[in-house]
Structure 1
Amino acid sequence: MTPLPMIQLPPVKHLYVHVPFCPSICPYCDFHVLTRRSGQVEAYLAQLEREAAYLAASYPTDLETVYLGGGTPSFLRDDELTRLTQSIRRHLGWGRLENTLEVNPGTVSAPRAQHWRELGFDRASVGVQSLDDPTLKFLGRQHDAEQASSAVELLAAAGFRVSGDLITAVAGQPLERDIAGLLALGVGHVSAYTLTIEPGTPFARRGVKVNEDDEQMGFERTAELLTDAGLERYEISNYARPGEQSRHNSAYWQNRFYLGLGPGAAGHYPTQQAGLRAERRTNPHLHDWLAHDFTAGPAAESEAVDAEEHVTDALFMGLRTRAGVDLAALSLYSGLEVTQRYAGPLERNLEAGLLTLDGAVLRATVRGWWLLNKVLGDFVNG
């Protein structure tokens, strides 16, 4: 089956903005982050406006969500964040449904929270990570448990929908107390990630290891405690009360188009090139991004996404979610008969109890989520 050709580019409804500056660099972090130096933020804001103008001229937008990640977007000074949001609004618009600011607990005060709300942010993703001071110290966090709790309370009082980030599988971490503390603060959303030691990070250079038993215990116990408390596990690492799901992150998991703005930002773009379903780009890091001339085009070369890559992308992202992947709809859009192309991996993983097929909807089981990298590797290898 072959879909109708695209007459014009569809409006892109999601925008990710990368703010690379942090007050300090955590030893487990492998994102593009750096501490601010004289003149860097000014140069960043000027270039961000130029890239926003390029994106506006290249893609129609009807934004539903905007997400400022990093780095530490809340580390920007009030006038800097005001200028950044004005640039976005001027060229690309603003999210109609949800606008998220990633927040470090040590940057929050009541006046700042109110300022962020006035700028148009309505959701805060707070890097709590733990409510145990020894665990926070081990993780290299600059805030303590009291600051984390206060930050959540101040943001909620200012009218934010608040999500709390939690890191699990840290040796000695009082996980149950961490989760109970987050729930007591009234967060509507929790993102729980296993501590991962990435190559090149300070933790990797120090030889820090994650115990596999701690990893599995954290994975299973987090799910048990949060779902018992009434939060739905709607994605492998994300839990929400009704109506509190991240609309922006859900766009990633549904393989929708989104713009990437800023150094290191990734984007998934519509295309009119024959035989392709999308283009991917990941911007270079700050130095090269600042040196780029956006009047000459994007800062990174496009990576073409053909029908087969579109299908594997959709499977990789969609199988992370409780909703799963509608294989019939995916076949119709891609023009590739998914159940035929991936008959072997489907049969093997269904028989192993790692996937289920309900009509045309393919989902990972709980055990399949735990072994998801193995499942996805099977699809890559055919």
Structure 2
Amino acid sequence: MYRTFPPASPYTSRVTAPLPDSTVRHLYVHVPFCPSICPYCDFHVLTRRAGLVERYLEGIEAEAARLSGEYPVDLDTVYLGGGTPSFLRDAELEALVGSIHRHLGWGRVENTLEVNPGTVSRERAAHWRGLGLGRASVGVQSLDDATLLFLGRQHDAAQAREAVTTLLGAGFRVSGDLITAVPGQPLEADVRGLVDLGVGHVSAYTLTIEPGTEFARRGVTVEEDDEREGFERTEALLTALGFTRYEVSNYARPGEESRHNLAYWHNRLYLGLGPGAAGHFPATGDGLLSRRWTNPHLHDWLAGEKPEVQDVDPAEFVTDALFMGLRLREGVDLADLSRRAGLDVRAAYAGPIAANVRRGLLTLEGGRLRATPQGWWSLNRVITDFLEESPAASTTSSRQ
């Protein structure tokens, strides 16, 4: 998630105040433990070993206490991600939630738990609801046993169906993850089957082979034509079933959008808690708007190694906001972004805006910049144009 942005902008000197709202309202907590490591996964995850979870929970307590004294926090959303947070034992998850409550509070609007289907039971779902978790993001990935076997998942289709049904019965708002463009996958059956279970939200990602993963070592490949077909067919199927594609990879029934993830896509401030977690924090002075940092992986985090930190000036804030905001169907309100960043975005980036409108990758209507369907597919190219337009100076990257 951590990215290096282009050099700072001469607009920096104009900014002497922090962002209009410097209160942090969103919290991401990374739980790095998984029952097994999937062959396509390149996240910071590991299997549990004796004493390691206990040390992790002690680290969470200490980090939460430190962050509470450094930043103004009034949480709307909490997201427990991983890894597999639902893999934690009941007492362990209770301790984790307790640390958050003690030092940072709890989300008033939405609190999400990422769930592996194999960890769900009626009793556990009721326990999670009792802890104040109301939304579950379930790693279904497919409802076809052959596809799940290829993906290295430890659950079968029946377990996935039962997990979703159990969570809905316990009162959770449920989102189901799907992986598309898998060789031989019955995509229509996967999509229809998940929707028929009653989920209100679907996150659909094309299978991507990342360097260093087991799939990469095996030489597994995904053809671009297959990736694009999965990308387009998923939208057609879910739209026909009453879902709206509100972000490149995310679909929802009305009111079921992920409030937490919308904070990322709107480039809001958020805390990152735990090993490998990234955060976007308020900063003042020297023309800065905010800071981004990424915690080290578990063993270095436990040893007290400091996070990798990047100061964010107005130009970097704008390119980051465009990178994230153009993923949304609603796009980016340029007047609002200009107000938040302290520079005239439409004037500063007139060149790449005009060029990508001509190419049919962006539209600009009423001051709102949006990606077209082709622009969504080519978003990296679009953002590269904005990065290259950014004026050159120097950036700050350090360990603090």
Under TM normalisation by the shorter chain, which class is it? Answer: over 0.9
- What SS does the aligned partner of 1:243 have? coil
- Alignment of structure 1 residues 89-104 onto 2, 5 Å: 89-104=101-116
CA distance in 2, matches of 1:104, 1:117: 16
Task: Tell me the amino acid that sits aligned with residue 72 of structure 1.
Answer: T
CA distance in 2, matches of 1:190, 1:3: 40
Gaps of 5+ in 1: 294-298
Indicate conservation of the 8 Å contact 1:326/1:360, yes or no.
yes
CA distance in 2, matches of 1:253, 1:231: 19
Give the number of equivalent residue pairs: 377
1:329 correspondence with 2:336: yes
Deviations 1:153-208 (A, max 9, x none): 00000000000000001011000000010011010000000111111111111111
Indicate conservation of the 8 Å contact 1:100/1:121, yes or no.
yes
Runs of 4+ in 1 over 6 A off after TM superposition: none
Pairwise CA distance, 1:274:
2.8
Change (3 A) 1:371 1:8: closer
2:310 to 303, 313, 316: 303
Change (3 A) 1:340 1:91: same
| 2:383 alignment counterpart | 376
Task: Tell me the amino acid that sits aligned with residue 23 of structure 2.
Answer: P
1:151 to 163, 180, 185: 163
| 1:191 alignment counterpart | 203
1:175 correspondence with 2:187: yes
| 2:29 alignment counterpart | 17
1:271 to 263, 283, 306: 283
1:160 to 169, 172, 183: 172
Task: Tell me the amino acid that sits aligned with residue 143 of structure 1.
Answer: H
Deviations 1:233-282 (A, max 9, x none): 10000000011000000000000000000000000001112301110010
CA distance in 2, matches of 1:232, 1:215: 20
Task: Tell me the amino acid that sits aligned with residue 364 of structure 2.
Answer: L
Change (3 A) 1:190 1:8: closer
Indicate conservation of the 8 Å contact 2:181/2:227, yes or no.
yes
Task: Tell me the amino acid that sits aligned with residue 361 of structure 1.
Answer: R
- Alignment of structure 1 residues 30-41 onto 2, 5 Å: 30-41=42-53
Indicate conservation of the 8 Å contact 1:21/1:75, yes or no.
yes
CA distance in 1, matches of 2:194, 2:344: 44
What is the TM-score when the length of structure 1 is the normalising length?
0.97
- What SS does the aligned partner of 1:170 have? coil
Change (3 A) 1:221 1:7: closer
CA distance in 1, matches of 2:234, 2:384: 25
CA distance in 2, matches of 1:7, 1:19: 30
Pairwise CA distance, 1:10:
2.5
CA distance in 2, matches of 1:130, 1:227: 19
CA distance in 1, matches of 2:16, 2:172: 42
| 1:287 alignment counterpart | 299
- Alignment of structure 1 residues 229-240 onto 2, 5 Å: 229-240=241-252
CA distance in 2, matches of 1:7, 1:276: 9
Pairwise CA distance, 1:356:
0.4
Deviations 1:123-147 (A, max 9, x none): 0000000000010000000000000
Pairwise CA distance, 1:302:
2.2
- What SS does the aligned partner of 1:218 have? helix
Indicate conservation of the 8 Å contact 2:181/2:226, yes or no.
yes
- What SS does the aligned partner of 2:125 have? helix
CA distance in 2, matches of 1:237, 1:9: 28
Identity of aligned residues (%): 69
Deviations 1:194-236 (A, max 9, x none): 1111111111111110011211110000001101111111000
CA distance in 2, matches of 1:313, 1:354: 18
Indicate conservation of the 8 Å contact 2:191/2:237, yes or no.
yes
- What SS does the aligned partner of 2:323 have? helix
Task: Tell me the amino acid that sits aligned with residue 65 of structure 2.
Answer: A
Gaps of 5+ in 2: 1-10, 390-400
Pairwise CA distance, 1:9:
7.6
Indicate conservation of the 8 Å contact 1:3/1:333, yes or no.
no
CA distance in 1, matches of 2:268, 2:335: 17
CA distance in 2, matches of 1:359, 1:98: 31
CA distance in 1, matches of 2:55, 2:20: 34
CA distance in 2, matches of 1:117, 1:104: 16
CA distance in 1, matches of 2:202, 2:364: 28
Pairwise CA distance, 1:340:
2.1
| 2:76 alignment counterpart | 64
Change (3 A) 1:8 1:372: closer
- Alignment of structure 1 residues 111-150 onto 2, 5 Å: 111-150=123-162
| 2:365 alignment counterpart | 358
| 2:266 alignment counterpart | 254
| 1:296 alignment counterpart | none
- The RMSD of aligned alpha carbons is 1.4
CA distance in 1, matches of 2:385, 2:18: 32
